[in-house]
């Protein structure tokens, strides 16, 4: 369990929060911006080297806050040459996984929002391990900063894309997750554009509605995997709490309120949900929605015996969706050899 009495982490404070803290300590608010940029834009915690900071403020930061990076328990690089996975150590001994993925013209960090997951999706390694705890805002932010620091030290590239698709259900940890997106989007820090941040949910309906009501600008991805209540509930237990018709009503509310589309994720499992009839069912479900379908061939996990779809079946599935005017993409499989693909992340191997 986390030490709730530990000093607050600077990584979890917004810039306004840091400014308020510095002012509360009777130092000039202007120093907060220098601290913020040193930490978030340059990935440094050696505040003693930061020119212009009063010695008393440096001492106060050291005594009253923390700003440590997550420890690296394991660093694994895929044979594909594009994927690197980090097993990161939390202060209470829990471990989480974070993935650096390279695509043409961009680098993406896939970060976790929980240690474990309570959603229990049958083909997901994180769901198979169960739920340990929510991550703090600082622990979510620290993962993105870790990837940013790796890039700066190795290639000089900038992190520009973030997907909240690692371990855990982001909308089950709504406050910490959204606070982290605000910090990572701050223009004085990493300055990630909300348009380049995607939050993936298995269908936590209250969270989807809240995203719309709060007008949160991150992109939304919703995992379906089944186009009927029975088919979906067999793979995604949360469908019993929020049935498919309730989920789709929330998605329509989101699209109407935000005036934007949703990415729907569909894990293609051979013989289970990759048949033409499955594609037709999905087409009928989404044909009047503002939607883009991401098709993800199943990635193997120890706790699930299904097989990934074939390339031919994936193309056929896409062709059926096109009949309904639904755009779709077959996602590139990355890092499968190091269990870094969608649904493969877990803290123990």
**Active-site residues: which are they?**
97, 342
Tokens of 69: 């990076």
Alpha-carbon span 337 to 330, nearest angstrom: 19
CB-side neighbour CA atoms (13 Å) of 279: 26
- Per DSSP bridges, beta strands 83-89 and 71-77 are antiparallel
For residue 91, the tally of other CB atoms under 10 A from its CB is: 16
Per-residue burial over 24-40, b if 16 or more Cβ lie within 10 Å, else e, is eeebeeebbebbbbbbb
Q: Of 284, 342, 287, 278, which Cα lies nearest the Cα of 314?
A: 278
* 3-state SS assignment for residue 54: coil
Q: In what order do the strands lie in the sheet with 95-103?
A: 71-77, 83-89, 95-103, 106-110, 161-164, 197-201, 219-223, 262-268, 291-297, 328-330
């Amino acid at each position: 369990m986390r030490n709730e009495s530990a000093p607050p982490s600077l990584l979890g404070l917004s810039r306004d929060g840091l400014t308020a803290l510095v002012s509360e300590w009777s130092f000039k608010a202007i120093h907060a911006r220098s601290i913020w940029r040193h930490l978030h834009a340059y990935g440094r915690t050696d505040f003693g080297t930061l020119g212009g900071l009063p010695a008393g403020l440096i001492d106060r930061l050291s005594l009253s806050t923390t700003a440590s990076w997550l420890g690296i328990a394991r660093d694994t690089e895929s044979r594909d040459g594009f994927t690197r996975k980090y097993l990161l150590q939390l202060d209470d001994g829990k471990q989480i996984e974070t993935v650096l993925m390279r695509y043409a013209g961009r680098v993406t960090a896939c970060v976790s929002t929980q240690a474990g997951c309570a959603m229990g999706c049958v083909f997901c390694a994180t769901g198979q391990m169960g739920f340990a705890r929510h991550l703090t805002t600082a622990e979510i932010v620290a993962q993105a900063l870790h990837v940013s620091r790796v890039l700066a030290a190795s290639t000089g590239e900038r992190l520009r894309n973030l997907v909240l698709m690692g371990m855990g259900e982001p909308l089950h940890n709504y406050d910490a997750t959204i606070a982290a997106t605000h910090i990572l989007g701050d223009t004085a820090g990493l300055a990630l554009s909300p348009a380049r941040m995607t939050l993936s949910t298995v269908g936590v309906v209250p969270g989807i509605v809240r995203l719309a009501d709060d007008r949160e600008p991150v992109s939304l991805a919703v995992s379906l995997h089944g186009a009927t209540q029975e088919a979906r509930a067999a793979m995604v237990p949360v469908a019993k709490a929020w049935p498919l018709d309730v989920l789709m009503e929330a998605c329509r509310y989101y699209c109407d309120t935000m005036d934007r589309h949703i990415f729907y994720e569909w894990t293609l499992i051979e013989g289970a949900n990759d048949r033409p009839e499955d594609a037709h069912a999905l087409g009928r479900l989404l044909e009047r929605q503002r939607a883009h379908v991401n098709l993800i061939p199943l990635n193997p996990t120890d706790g699930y015996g299904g097989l990934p779809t074939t390339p031919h079946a994936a193309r056929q599935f896409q062709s059926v969706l096109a009949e309904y005017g639904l755009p779709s993409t077959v996602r590139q499989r990355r890092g499968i050899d190091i269990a870094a693909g969608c649904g493969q992340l877990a803290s123990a191997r």
